[in-house]
Amino acid sequence: MPGQSYSTVIQIFAKPESVYKAVTCEIDKWWTTSSNEALEPGDRLVVCFEKGTRWVMAVAEAVPDESVVWEVVEAYHNLESVQATDEWKGTTIQWRIGGEEVRTDVTLIHQGLVPELECFEICQAGWGYFLGSLKSYLETGTGYPYEARMAD
């Protein structure tokens, strides 16, 4: 039986609207400095990392202060320990945002990111790191995104 898709819930001491804004407009503050805004269904989010690693995601759903869904339409991983370069292609990343005035539960479901994929452990650790960065950004004003460099 195939494994479960990656999912996790984190609690952030920030308003739901701040979380939504960070996931749609401020991706460069917590995920990667090489990214763009993606606000409306149909918009394309492009995030880039080292050695040409990049993902292109189409916004499938955007409900202010509640949810964002990205469908991964292009994927290229350049990881030494992983032979497959496009494992994210066809996966879906769902952000569910729910909370009170100052505390928000953020549920991340990466549908299709399953233990059978070569990149699963690396990607699971990556999500953990960048969700910590998102939490830090929203609670302190300072995240720790990947710093894109000209040589990448």
Kindly report the CATH number assigned to the domain that includes residue 80.
3.30.530.20
Q: Is residue 102 part of a domain?
A: yes
87 in Cβ contact with 115 (< 8 Å): no
145 found inside a domain: no
DSSP reduced 3-state for 36? coil
Q: Give the mean pLDDT of 32-54.
A: 95
Residue 151 lies in a domain: no
Place of tokens 């000209």: 150
SS3 21: helix
Domain membership of residue 30 as a residue range: 6-140
pLDDT for 99 equals: 85
Check residue 122 and give its pLDDT. 95
Q: Judge whether residue 2 has pLDDT over 70.
A: no
- C-alpha 127 chain-centroid distance: 7
Residue 135 has pLDDT above 70, yes or no: yes
Does the pLDDT value for residue 10 go beyond 70?
yes
- Residues whose CB is less than 8 angstroms from the CB of residue 77 and which lie 6 or more positions away in sequence, other chains included: 53, 84, 85, 86, 87, 88, 119
> Looking at the domain assignment, is residue 11 inside a domain?
yes
How much is the average pLDDT of 54-69? 98
Write down the pTM of the prediction: 0.94
Enclosing H/E stretch for 61:
strand 54-63
Nearest to 56 by CA among 91, 81, 95, 94: 91
**Position 152 in a domain:** no
Residue 26 lies in a domain: yes
Cα–Cα distance, 22 to 115 (Å, whole number): 28
99, 131 contact by CB (below 8 A): no
How many domains in the chain?
A: 1
Q: State mean pLDDT over 74-93.
A: 94
| pLDDT higher than threshold 50 for residue 1 | no
